[in-house]
């Protein structure tokens, strides 16, 4: 499946959400209840278009729960492979987290009993903190109340996607709803 956006919808909102989102990119159902994925060409443009559409028609948020673009996607067959690929992606963001407050937020769908959201969040948190120490950079701090950054991790079975969001982006795009 070719995707870079995950959307969750509210109860009885699937049809309306799908109709609304189809004007922005290709929308596909998933095997998970009230979850769909999309493929958009330009994430920044998509974010602005969604923001504008919601500001014009607030009713959209009555059936769309959250919309999260993902800058990196991959497949995995095991928890070890998931961790290796996720860490390789997150490694590119480590320098920007130096001296900042952050946390990882994972939403897992599928792979039950083999992959734990809390455990994987902790693995990535530790990886980032250790990497900063290895690079002799100012440490980051894990903060759930007022983070400078949130790293989003979304899984659909053996598919995963990651993105990183600044405090300003989270405020600008309230439909991200990371926590």
Instruction: Say if residue 157 is in the same domain as residue 78.
Output: yes
- Rounded to whole angstroms, the Cα distance separating 130 from 134 reads 6
Of 151, 154, 70, 82, give the one whose Cα is nearest residue 115: 82
CATH number of the structural domain spanning residue 83: 3.30.2130.30
pLDDT of residue 143: 96
Total domains, the chain: 2
C-beta neighbour count of 172 within 10 angstroms? 13
What is the token pair recorded at 104? 């990882």
| Domain extent at residue 141 | 72-171
Residue 177 falls inside a structural domain: no
Residues linked to residue 155 through DSSP beta bridges, in sequence order: 160
Instruction: Say if residue 79 is in the same domain as residue 154.
Output: yes
Instruction: Say if residue 24 is in the same domain as residue 81.
Output: no
Of 37, 33, 32, give the one whose Cα is nearest residue 5: 37
Give me the average pLDDT of each 10-residue run along the chain (179 residues).
Answer: 93 93 94 95 96 93 95 96 97 96 95 88 96 94 96 96 97 90
Instruction: Say if residue 148 is in the same domain as residue 77.
Output: yes
Residue 139 falls inside a structural domain: yes
Residue 84 falls inside a structural domain: yes
Residue 176 falls inside a structural domain: no
pLDDT of residue 29: 94
What is the token pair recorded at 144? 């759930």
| Burial class of 174 by CB neighbour count within 10 A (0 to 12, 13 to 18, 19+) | exposed
pLDDT of residue 178: 85
- Rounded to whole angstroms, the Cα distance separating 142 from 134 reads 17
pLDDT of residue 115: 85
Instruction: Say if residue 78 is in the same domain as residue 161.
Output: yes
pLDDT of residue 113: 81
């Amino acid at each position: 499946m070719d995707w870079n956006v995950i959307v969750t919808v509210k109860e009885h909102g699937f049809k309306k959400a799908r109709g609304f989102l189809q004007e922005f990119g290709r929308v596909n159902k998933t095997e998970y209840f009230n979850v769909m994925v999309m493929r958009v060409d330009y994430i920044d443009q998509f974010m602005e278009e969604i923001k504008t559409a919601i500001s014009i028609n607030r009713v959209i948020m009555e059936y769309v729960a959250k919309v999260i673009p993902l800058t990196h996607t991959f497949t995995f067959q095991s928890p070890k492979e998931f961790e290796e690929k996720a860490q390789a992606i997150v490694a590119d963001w480590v320098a920007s987290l130096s001296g900042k407050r952050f946390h990882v937020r994972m939403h897992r769908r599928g792979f039950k009993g083999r992959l734990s959201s809390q455990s994987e969040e902790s693995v990535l948190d530790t990886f980032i903190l250790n990497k900063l120490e290895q690079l002799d950079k100012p440490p980051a701090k894990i903060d759930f109340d007022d983070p400078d950054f949130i790293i989003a991790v979304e899984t659909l079975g053996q598919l995963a996607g990651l993105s990183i969001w600044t405090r300003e982006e989270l405020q600008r795009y309230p439909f991200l709803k990371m926590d």
